[in-house]
Structure 1
Amino acid sequence: MANKEALRELQTRLATRLQAAREQPRDAGWLAVECGSAGLLLPLGQAGEIQAVKDLTPVPHSAAWLAGVANVRGQLDAVIDLAVFLRLRAAAAPRPGAQLVVLNTSLRVNAALMIDRLAGLRDTSQLTRMPDDGLPRPAYAKQAWRDERGRRWDELDLARLVSDPLFLDLAA
């Protein structure tokens, strides 16, 4: 019971901070999440509501990274296991503590990303841009950053992610 209350409190604080972050002019702002062992930065303007994973309905004959569909406030959203899509994990499966980051309606796609853990908010004052390593990156993987503890964070452009041909190919 205490864990549910703590989770609810964390979600409330994050929602409040997200709203405040959207209202303030900023150089850049991200929702920091963890998928597998990777730290990812999702642009605040492209991320929407955050919810606990519950009641996923499987979709037969679909891509391995499509965890299912979920009813989010009366709307059916495709739930993409982001760790599987990014090849950080082999199989989609709900995990204890997993969260859904519903994509902003401005992206015009009914989808949510299943992530392992929320890690708070980040902005450019907390991160240092890493030099380009010359390795090929998908169009949606914009930039790598490093925080003060040396952890790598990869910035994703969700608008480019949802228009990626692989993302759009839901069939197995």
Structure 2
Amino acid sequence: MAKRISLREYQQGVMDRLQSVAAVAQVDACLGIMIGTENWLVDLADVAEVMPVPAIASVPLGFAWFKGVANIRGNLVSVTDLPAFFGLPHPGFTAMSRLVLLQPRHLPHAAVLVNRMLGLKHVADLTLLPAAVDKKPWVGDVYQDAAGQNWKTLDVAALVGQPSFLQTGIA
């Protein structure tokens, strides 16, 4: 004979299973982006929003990698050309380029320009490579996919903690 449960117990069980699945999905999935010509992974928890590149107003006396500010729903957001900040060669920004708004807990009203979005990547499908000795502070783990392409992990907290990233203009 089947055990009878109340509607409340059934609903609580469904909610518990959904939360468990959501927690596992968040841990495994990262956002794949192209910075310059390199593949990068960003933790979804570090991204507030991804959008097409809006109009950007330049700021006088800013470094070349600091593109300026954009009006996003009435808020001025600082925009950093991430390939230029990293010193990476890139063909320029196109219609496929995106503005990635960072979570405000890292740096309020901040966004980075990336060359394109590459979709969600599952870390379980990648192979962890040995750590490089001379890597930049914002580079986390480096992985390789089945096709042999390398994927660097962007440590957003380390990036926004860099004094050079926060100093956007000539002092």
TM-score, with structure 1 as normaliser = 0.79
Give 1:58 deviation, angstroms.
0.5
Q: Is the 8 A contact 2:128 2:142 kept in 1?
A: yes
**In the alignment, structure 1 residue 58 sits paired with structure 2 residue 67:** no
The structure that has the greater radius of gyration is 2
**What letter corresponds to residue 139 of structure 2 in structure 1?**
A
Task: Name the structure 2 match of 1:13.
Answer: none
Q: List gaps (5 residues or longer) in structure 1.
A: 1-19
Q: Is the 8 A contact 1:66 1:79 kept in 2?
A: yes
Task: Name the structure 2 match of 1:34.
Answer: 34
RMSD between aligned alpha carbons? 2.1
Offset from partner CA, 1:65-106 (integer Å, 9 cap, x none) = 111111112211111111101111389x64332110100122
Runs of 4+ in 1 over 4 A off after TM superposition: none
Percentage identity across aligned positions? 29
Task: Name the structure 1 match of 2:107.
Answer: 108
Any idea what SS the aligned residue of 1:159 has? helix
Task: Name the structure 2 match of 1:76.
Answer: 76
Task: Name the structure 1 match of 2:141.
Answer: 143
Q: Is the 8 A contact 2:37 2:90 kept in 1?
A: no
Offset from partner CA, 1:44-76 (integer Å, 9 cap, x none) = 110111110121101111011111111112211
Task: Name the structure 2 match of 1:17.
Answer: none
Give 1:29 deviation, angstroms.
2.8
Q: Is the 8 A contact 1:57 1:68 kept in 2?
A: yes
Q: List gaps (5 residues or longer) in structure 2.
A: 1-18
Task: Name the structure 1 match of 2:164.
Answer: 166
Q: How many residues align?
A: 150
Q: Is the 8 A contact 2:37 2:89 kept in 1?
A: no
**What letter corresponds to residue 43 of structure 1 in structure 2?**
D
